[in-house]
Every structure is written in C-alpha cells, then in structure tokens.
C-alpha cells in the first residue's frame, strides 16, 4: 500500500508543566480522537461486518455499568444501586447483542482470543448473573481457544463464592481497583472501600488461584502526599500480585471532581502533572527493586513471559474488538465505534434486532498506521519490522520530524529495528502521542 507522509502541525512544546491543563483527559485510549467519530460513518461499520472474517485476533469487551457509588474521578457511564431485574434485563440484552454479531460474516464462527469485563463494578453481579453472562457468550462465540479473560472487581464486593464461580467459568486474569491504601485519601476521592477491605479481598483472590492477579493504583489522587504514595506502593509490593497498574489521576470534565474544581469547592489542590510523573517514576523504580518488570507506561509484572496483558497488547497491535453493552467501544475491520450511550436507547435498539451503534470512524491505511504506532509507543518499545511489512513504509522516515524532536528532548531513541522510549519519555507517553497525529487531528477536542 502507498501512504503519503503526514503533514504535522506542531503540538504544544513538550516541556514539563507546559500545555497541560488541569481539567480534561490525559490518557489516550484511541486514535483518532473520539470527537471526530460520527453517526454518518456507522454504515462503514456495517460494511466491515459484511466482509470476510479477518485473520487478526478477535476480542470481546463487555461493559457492566453498575456501581454501588460513582467515584469522584470516574467518567465511565455507570448506574448506581440498580435492582436485580434491571441488571438481569441488561445482561439478556448484552447476550442478544452478542447473538446479532454472531450472525455477521466478519464474526461468524471466528474464535475469540481475549475478553475483558469492565465497568462499572463487574463484581457487583451475583454468581447466577455472571454464570448466565459467560455461558451465554460461550453460546454466541467460539470460546475454546481464548488466551485471556480479564474480570474487574472492587475490594468491598469480593466474596470467595463469587471468585470460585469466576474461576470455574474460565476467568484467567483478575484486576482489582485498589487506588490507594490510605483510608483518608480513598474517602476524599469517593471510593467506598478501606485498606482493610483490600487486605481481605486480596487473600480471597490469592486463594482462588487465578493465572494472573493485577492490582490498580492511582498516583496523584486529590490530597495525596509523597508519604502516602510511597506507603501505598510499599503495601502493594508486600502483597506480591502478579501485576500492578499505575494510572496518573485525571480530572475529566464530566466528573464530580471537575464540577467541584469549577465551583472552587475541592477539599485539596490537584497534584501537578510534574509531581504525578515523578511519583509514577518512583513507583516503577520501587516495583523494579521488588522484582517486577515495567512493560508499558502503566504496567509492571512479576513474570513478563507469563503475565503480559494480552487485551492491551492485541488491541494496540491492531486486533479487532467487539464492544458489548451500553456506551461500549469497539474496533472492527479498521472502523472505530461506540454503542448508544443511554440504557434506554441501547436496549431499545437491540430489542428491534439492530446492533446499537451510535457513532463510528473509518480509518484509512494512513490512519491505521498512525493509530498502531502511537498506541504501541505506550508499550515503551515499537518494533519497526511489522510496520515495514504491513504498511510498506519505515516509521523512522515516515515520522522523521516528530521522532527527531522527541529524540532531541531525550524522550526516545531511534534504533535500527525499534523506536524505544527512555524512562522519562515513558512516564509522559500520553503527552507525546499528539506529535504523531495527522494534521487534521492536531489541537482538537479529544472527547
């Protein structure tokens, strides 16, 4: 394929503390930005679904949007304290949606390689509900060759009986949102659990025997001190999970934290990005001293051969992803998409026998090259050979201008076979990605 070289419009100068607003999204989950996805491009998704199945890995993401309480920093769609009939109806709708996909040419009889159940708080489901959900998905899709099944949980909702059910149903990787071990910080940021809940839940999870157990931390939570951060890192290392994910705290616009910030009502000042990056770097250093290996700008694992996060690796490498559930995101045949964003609209569309698409974006070959390159930068190392083979271009030449600028800043190196981020570059990787965007997506709203 022939690709034109991108015309770059210089993003904000990549200097510490500059061009980094307090409010808004920091983490880059998709390219191009969500703000350019439209309803007008949904037909391109239906065309992709009617094409012959691809040989690329296929994943399934299921959004389970139910919570006991919405965290102050959370921008994901969720519904608080819903009764069992509402949850049951939703799960049946998800399974009906899965059946609609299963009949499409690009999906039919195509084995699922990886799956992720996110929220919301998926561990709020009952054992009967989770059995119904996973058994129904097995009926819709070939599931026997699956490599990884990740299920999110929250410390307070974990029970040994629920964990046994997950294990029996084939969940291989459990990810638990810890965020902090400081009770004051947890309360200040709207979390419902305490440090004691983490200890109790981790003992149960450890006993259940999952292939991989991951704990999430957040650095730069509202009100966090250096001492509190160091103690949380120390305590997570003491537990010795298989993997640790560290996110830098954002204040997205549709959150309680954002509303309180704009009203001047926050109980503490937000932590600066410089401080958050420094704490992330300190956390990675402590994890490495504890025997972990950093495998991305967010993840460290005890054994890189056994504990890689395949959902992340496959998706950033160009795999297809079926997004099930209200407001869920997917990627099929080079088309990004999102489902209807209210429970009522989502369920009504599926009841009519329609896949509940709300907006989409069809990527050109050029866009796909940029998408895979920027997402793989988040892994810290981008092998160049696959890009030369798949796209017929050398990324070092294709992205010569931004690569040279970022190399001069000390944030990456260009080697013969790979682009490699330095540690300082990896700590700010989401701020570097816009340098590689096509000119039409520079300096626009992300969501």
pLDDT confidence tier of residue 6, bands split at 50, 70 and 90: very low
Which letter, b or e, does each residue of 324-342 get, where b requires 16 or more Cβ atoms within 10 Å of its Cβ?
Answer: bbbbbbbbbbbbbbbbbee
The count of C-alpha atoms lying within 13 angstroms of the C-alpha of 411, restricted to the half-sphere facing its C-beta, is 22
Q: Which residue has the tokens 């026997």?
A: 144
Check whether 196 has a pLDDT greater than 60: yes
Confidence at residue 379, expressed as pLDDT on a 0 to 100 scale: 97
Alpha helix stretches (DSSP H) within 12-70:
42-49
Question: Considering only CA atoms, which of 2, 3, 11 is closest in space to residue 401?
Answer: 11
Burial of 385 (0-12, 13-18, 19+ CB in 10 A): exposed
Give me the pLDDT at residue 442, please: 86
pLDDT digits (tens, 9 = 90+) for 116-161: 999 999 999 999 999 999 999 999 999 999 999 999 999 999 999 9
38 φψ region: left (φ > 0), alpha (ψ -120 to 50), beta (else): beta
In a 3-state reduction of DSSP, which class is residue 381? Answer: strand
Spatial separation of the C-alpha atoms in residues 413 and 404, rounded to whole Å? 9
364-384 pLDDT per residue, tens? 999 999 999 999 999 999 999
pLDDT at position 11 is 38
Q: What is the pLDDT of residue 19?
A: 55
| Alpha-carbon span 42 to 37, nearest angstrom | 9
Please give the distance of CA 304 from its chain centroid, rounded to a whole number: 19
* Tens of pLDDT, residues 220-277: 999 999 999 999 999 999 999 999 999 999 988 888 888 888 888 888 888 899 999 9
* 339-364 confidence digits (pLDDT tens): 999 999 999 999 999 999 999 999 99
Q: Any idea where the domains of the chain sit in the sequence?
A: 1-23+366-447, 34-314
| Beta pairing partners, 115 | 60, 149
pLDDT band at 191 (very low <50, low <70, confident <90, very high): confident
Residue 12 pLDDT exceeds 60: no
pLDDT of residue 280: 98
Going by pLDDT thresholds of 50, 70 and 90, the confidence category of residue 444 is confident
Q: Which CATH number fits domain 34-314: 1.10.760.10, 3.30.365.10, 3.30.450.40, 3.20.20.70?
A: 3.20.20.70
User: Cα separation of 288 and 240, whole Å?
Assistant: 12
pLDDT tens readout for residues 75-130: 777 888 889 999 999 999 999 999 999 999 999 999 999 999 999 999 999 999 99
Q: What is the pLDDT of residues 13-56, one digit of tens each?
A: 333 333 577 888 889 999 999 999 999 999 999 999 999 988 99
Q: What is the structure's pLDDT at 294?
A: 98
In this predicted structure, what is the pLDDT of residue 334?
Answer: 97
Task: Report which of residues 423 and 67 the model is more confident about.
Answer: 423
CATH of span 1-23+366-447: 1.10.10.920
Q: Is 264 or 287 the better-scoring residue by pLDDT?
A: 287
Between 175 and 192, the higher pLDDT residue = 175
């Amino acid at each position: 394929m022939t690709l034109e070289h991108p015309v770059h419009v210089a993003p904000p100068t990549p200097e510490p503390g500059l061009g980094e607003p307090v409010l808004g999204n920091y983490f880059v989950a998709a390219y191009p930005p969500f703000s350019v996805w439209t309803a007008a491009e949904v037909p391109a998704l239906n065309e992709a679904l009617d094409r012959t199945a691809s040989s690329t890995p296929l994943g399934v993401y299921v959004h389970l949007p139910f919570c006991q309480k919405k965290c102050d920093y959370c921008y994901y769609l969720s519904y608080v304290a819903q009764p069992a009939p509402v949850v049951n109806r939703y799960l049946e709708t998800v399974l009906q949606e899965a059946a609609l996909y299963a009949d499409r040419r690009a999906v039919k009889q195509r084995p699922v390689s990886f799956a992720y159940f996110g929220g919301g708080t998926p561990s709020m489901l009952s054992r009967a509900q989770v059995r119904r959900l996973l058994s129904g998905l097995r009926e819709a899709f070939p599931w026997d060759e699956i490599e990884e099944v990740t299920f999110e949980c929250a410390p307070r909702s974990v029970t040994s009986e629920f964990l046994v059910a997950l294990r029996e149903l084939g969940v291989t990787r459990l990810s638990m949102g810890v965020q902090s071990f400081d009770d004051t910080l947890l309360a200040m940021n709207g979390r419902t659990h305490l440090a004691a809940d983490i200890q109790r839940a981790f003992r149960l999870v450890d006993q259940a025997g999952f292939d991989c157990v991951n704990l999430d931390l957040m650095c730069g939570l509202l009100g966090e001190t250096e001492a509190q951060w160091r103690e949380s890192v120390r305590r997570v290392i003491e537990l010795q999970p298989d993997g640790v994910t560290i996110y830098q705290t954002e204040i997205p616009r549709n959150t309680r934290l954002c509303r309180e910030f704009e009203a001047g009502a926050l109980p503490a000042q937000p932590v600066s990005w410089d401080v958050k990056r420094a704490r992330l770097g300190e956390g990675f250093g402590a994890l490495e001293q504890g025997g972990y290996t950093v495998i991305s700008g967010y993840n460290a694992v005890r054994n890189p051969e056994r504990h890689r996060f395949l959902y992340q690796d496959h998706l950033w490498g160009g795999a297809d992803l079926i997004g099930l559930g209200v407001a869920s995101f997917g990627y099929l045949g080079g088309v990004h998409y999102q489902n209807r964003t209210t429970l009522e609209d989502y369920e009504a569309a599926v009841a009519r026998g329609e896949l509940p698409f709300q907006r989409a974006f069809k990527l050109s070959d050029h866009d796909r090259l940029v998408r895979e390159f920027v997402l793989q930068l988040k892994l810290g190392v981008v092998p160049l050979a696959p890009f030369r083979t798949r796209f017929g271009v050398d990324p070092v030449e294709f992205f010569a201008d931004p690569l040279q600028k970022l190399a001069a800043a000390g944030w990456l190196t260009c080697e013969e076979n790979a682009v490699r981020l330095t540690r300082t570059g990896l700590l700010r990787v989401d701020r570097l990605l816009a340098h590689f965007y096509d000119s039409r997506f520079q300096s626009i709203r992300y969501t």
